[in-house]
Amino acid sequence: MKFELTAECKVVLGERLFRIRALESNVSLGVKVGDIGGWLEKKTNLDEFSDAWVAGNACVYGDACVSGDAWVSGDARVYGNARVSGDAWVAGNAWVSGNACVAGNACVAGNAQVSGNAWVSCDKDVLCFKNTWSSGRWFTYTRSNKKWRVGCFYGTGGELIKKAYADGEVSGKCYEATVRYVEAVEKAQKENRGLCSSGLT
């Protein structure tokens, strides 16, 4: 057994989570016996037979699972049926939810939100933007399912533009410009062998 659930607990969105403590050292991750980790709802949220770890104030709950050499840290949240595996990192204030999967060498950080059926397997599969024209909040686009997450909104670019214009002319124009920018970049990259196989220069 590589970790235990401690008696320290907190409630997140109605779920009771427990702080974890390492029972084994992991030199590659810098985890020592007795180190305190992040928060889990249950033991199945973190694979016992891999080097995966949950650190800091990160929370993993629901039917979500962290496995492989994955690392979840900061104030990140992984929940629903989400999977984080391989050498993936989820950090900062990032959220991974729904049936989303973060795998391979992918890194989801900052204020990114990966949800729905999104699949993130390389660092370029998720894009983050900041609303500098009004709210100042971050919003995210995932390439695998071509969906946008803006606050409570989750949907296609067309749906986002429609909702933004309903909120106001400035909001509509700014979100539309962002959606069109992403569409143009994806078109250019598709013509040049695809995103993950060709770097941006």
Position 196 in a domain:
no
Position 14 in a domain:
yes
Answer yes or no: do 167 and 86 share one domain.
no
Predicted pLDDT of residue 198: 43
Picking from 89, 120, 151, the residue at the C-terminal end of a domain is 120
Position 195 in a domain:
no
Answer yes or no: do 104 and 180 share one domain.
no
- For the chain, the straight-line distance linking the first and the last C-alpha, in angstroms and rounded, comes to 45
Answer yes or no: do 32 and 102 share one domain.
yes
Position 201 in a domain:
no
- Count of other CB atoms within 10 angstroms of residue 94: 28
Picking from 64, 85, 120, the residue at the C-terminal end of a domain is 120
- Mean pLDDT, each 10-residue run in order, the chain (201 residues): 94 94 87 95 94 95 94 93 91 89 84 84 81 87 88 91 95 96 88 56 45
Domain of residue 60, residue span: 3-120
The pTM score is 0.76
Predicted pLDDT of residue 196: 52
SS3 of 95-121: EECCCCEECCCCEECCCCEECCCCEEC
